[in-house]
Amino acid sequence: MSEYGKTLDIIFGRWRSQILYVGVKLGVFDSITSDPKNASDVAKELGLDPALTYRLLRALGSMGLLREEPNSKFSMTSQGEFLRKDHPQTLRGVTLLEEGPEHYAIWRHLPAMITDGQQDSFVREYGHKIFEHTHKNHEYCEVFNQAMSSYSAIQTAWVLDALDGYDFSKIHHLCDIGGGQGHLLSNLLVKYSQMKGTVFELESVTKNKELLLAPKLGVKERCSYVDGDMFSEVPSADAYMMKMILHDWSDQECVRILSNIHISSPEHAKVLIAEHIVPGPETPHFSKLFDIHMMCVATGKERTVGEYSLILEQAGWKYVQTLNPGSGLISVIEGSKLR
Ligand SMILES: C[S@@+](CC[C@H](N)C(=O)[O-])C[C@H]1O[C@@H](n2cnc3c(N)ncnc32)[C@H](O)[C@@H]1O
């Protein structure tokens, strides 16, 4: 592609993600299978307008997410499979959150925020911060939690890979701070059978018991869900996992979270921070884009290893090492107690 074409392609990126979003939102990917199906039958099944449905399916076909066959029929492609509800690595939740109305709306404040230096898009749009929004808006909360488990479907594999070979023998109790529905912790408990675990979360996440993953993965005897606020007090444990937590918060807020863990934990405690790590200027990386999303969604940011070392140190921890998966976009930073 020419340089002009590449720039043009970026300009129209939103069209693609919105077309995909609408396909997911309307249930297209759960209606179409490998057997070619007429667009009008899809429309009838989903209660949609047939002519406009055909045009939507054609656009999805043009992006490789469906296959357009003769006579207005469509079948599923291997790429489109990832958008099905029942796919083990489903990206449905991620799509519904990241291209849904709230996250679409908050991006419009980006120019003003960068001008003013005030990172408060959610407040500008809704009058409150993101985790108040999950608390107040049931539908958004459901989509948010679904998206976190959806992200985890792939991120858990990266974290397990990064931690393969890590010495878990002295970790009898692992606490996952802001552990969502327990996707990562339950998978760690499956792999390390000597360990028990605690998912420490907001009540809005844990109250819907049918969605919690420990019972589904057969580790409910060793996994408890504890409601609380990481800015007040956290449970005592040998080690603490935090996946996609610190990137939600400013340096000051991260130091408070890490200090609370420091206060509650024994001398031998470890912290394991799973995040997108920002590489040097010569390397293009997804973290540099995710960072702009964090600018819109919360008070946080994506950080370099050096920036993580600094906040660890300010909260009484020392940076030990960064563990990288063989492939994948997130790494795990280990910290141990400084004093
Ligand atoms: C970006 S999500 C990450 C969830 C999970 N660790 C994952 O990677 O899928 C951040 C999580 O932090 C939780 N959280 C936010 N504020 C919290 C607080 N004050 N105390 C405990 N958990 C909190 C949210 O409910 C949410 O599940």
CA of 260 to the centre of ligand 1 (A): 15
Are the beta carbons of 128 and 122 closer than 8 angstroms?
A: yes
Averaged pLDDT of the chain: 96
Atom of ligand 1 nearest to the CA of 179: 6
Number of CB atoms found within 10 A of residue 59's CB = 18
Angstrom CA distances, 309 to 162, 166, 290, stand at 19, 20, 20
pLDDT the model gives residue 47: 98
The tokens 């990137």 sit on which residue? 247
Pairwise CA distance, residues 113 & 118, whole Å:
5
Residues assigned a catalytic role: 247
pLDDT band at 339; cut points 50, 70, 90: low
CA of 109 to the centre of ligand 1 (A): 24
Residues 49 and 177 reside in one and the same domain: no
Residues 156 and 301 reside in one and the same domain: yes
Q: Tabulate helix, strand, coil % of the chain (nearest 5).
A: 50, 15, 35
pLDDT band at 223; cut points 50, 70, 90: very high
Residues 80 and 105 reside in one and the same domain: no
Average pLDDT, stretch 92-111?
96
pLDDT the model gives residue 338: 87
Query: Domain of 132: which CATH number?
Result: 3.40.50.150
CA of 73 to the centre of ligand 1 (A): 42
| pLDDT tens-place string over residues 27-46 | 999 999 999 999 999 999 99
- Does position 153 have pLDDT exceeding 90, yes or no? no
CA of 155 to the centre of ligand 1 (A): 15
| pLDDT tens-place string over residues 82-91 | 999 999 889 9
| pLDDT tens-place string over residues 310-337 | 999 999 999 999 999 998 899 999 999 9
Query: Domain of 66: which CATH number?
Result: 1.10.10.10
Token pair, residue 87, equals 């796919």
Residues 127 and 248 reside in one and the same domain: yes
Name the domain count of the chain.
2
| pLDDT tens-place string over residues 225-283 | 999 999 999 999 999 999 999 999 999 999 999 999 999 999 999 999 999 999 999 99
> Which residue has the least CA distance to atom 11 on ligand 1?
178
Any idea of the CA torsion for 313, 317, 322, 328, to the nearest 10 degrees? -90
Residues 114 and 68 reside in one and the same domain: no
pLDDT the model gives residue 208: 87
Pairwise CA distance, residues 96 & 22, whole Å:
9
Token pair, residue 40, equals 């009008």
> Which residue has the least CA distance to atom 9 on ligand 1?
148
Are the beta carbons of 93 and 147 closer than 8 angstroms?
A: yes
Number of CB atoms found within 10 A of residue 183's CB = 25
pLDDT the model gives residue 131: 93
> Which residue has the least CA distance to atom 19 on ligand 1?
229
Boundary-marking domain end, from 84, 113, 138: 84
Average pLDDT, stretch 100-115?
97
Q: What is the DSSP string of 209-251?
A: GGG-HHHHTT-TTTEEEEE--TTT-----SEEEEES-GGGS-H
Q: Above pLDDT 90, what percent of the chain?
A: 94
* Residue 175 covered by a domain: yes
Residues 257 and 299 reside in one and the same domain: yes
Residues 6+ apart with CB under 8 A from 144: 97, 134
Residues 111 and 201 reside in one and the same domain: yes
Atom of ligand 1 nearest to the CA of 149: 9
Domain ranges, residue 286? 101-337
Residues 156 and 25 reside in one and the same domain: no
Pairwise CA distance, residues 232 & 219, whole Å:
28
Atom of ligand 1 nearest to the CA of 247: 1
pLDDT band at 149; cut points 50, 70, 90: confident
From 107-116, 151-160, 221-230, 300-309, the region with the lowest mean pLDDT: 151-160
Atom of ligand 1 nearest to the CA of 134: 25
Any idea of the CA torsion for 217, 221, 223, 228, to the nearest 10 degrees? 130
Residues 297 and 330 reside in one and the same domain: yes
Indicate yes or no: pTM above 0.75.
Answer: yes
Pairwise CA distance, residues 224 & 75, whole Å:
43
* Residue 93 covered by a domain: no
Backbone angles phi, psi at 177, to 5 degrees: -75, 125
Pocket lined around ligand 1, Cβ cut-off 6 Å: 131, 148, 151-152, 178-180, 201-202, 205, 229-231, 243-245, 248
User: With b meaning 16 or more CB within 10 Å and e meaning fewer, what string describes 62-93?
Assistant: ebebbbbeeebbbbbbeebbbbbeeeeebbbb
